[in-house]
Amino acid sequence: MNVRTTSPPAKCSRSEEPDDYYAVVAHLNDRWRVIVCAAAIQWVLQRRTGERHGTARWEGRSYCRTSEALNRLSRKHAGAIDPDAAAILPSLPERIAMEPAIRGSDRGNGGARWRHRLT
């Protein structure tokens, strides 16, 4: 599966900590979620650590390049996982990878646009 990422939607955050981060893969339960990191090179298992300015804040717990590691660490740390999220995790590709695609003006990554290859 190829996914082309450009800038996040205008109302979503580029920072991985806020509740409105644009690359959330799944909410495992009220306290845990999985995101694609801002550089799109790994999945991040995050736990909710409280609130800032009235919105939830998330902190990285585990950083995974393989879905096997992500599944194992999710089960280890998150406890009970929502059935919808439990269906998403096994459907992820074996690895998350990226490759340069097009040079562009995408701010925040040195001007490069990336095509993300999930293999």
> Domain of 48?
8-92
- Asked if residue 99 belongs to a domain, the reply is no
SS3 assignment for 87-119: HHHHHCCCEEEEEEEEECCCCCCCCEEEEEEEC
109 lies in a domain?
no
Cβ atoms 81, 28 nearer than 8 A: yes
Contact criterion met (CB below 8 Å) for 43 and 35: yes
* 113 lies in some domain: no
Say how many domains are in the chain: 1
Q: For 26-52, what is each residue's pLDDT tens digit? A: 999 999 999 999 999 999 999 999 888
Whether residue 54 lies inside any domain: the answer is yes
pTM, rounded to two decimals: 0.71
Q: What is the pLDDT of residues 50-99, one digit of tens each?
A: 888 888 899 999 999 999 999 999 999 999 999 999 999 999 999 987 55
118, pLDDT greater than 50: no
Residue 105 included in any domain: no
Asked if 119 and 94 count as a contact pair (C-beta separation under 8 A), the reply is: yes
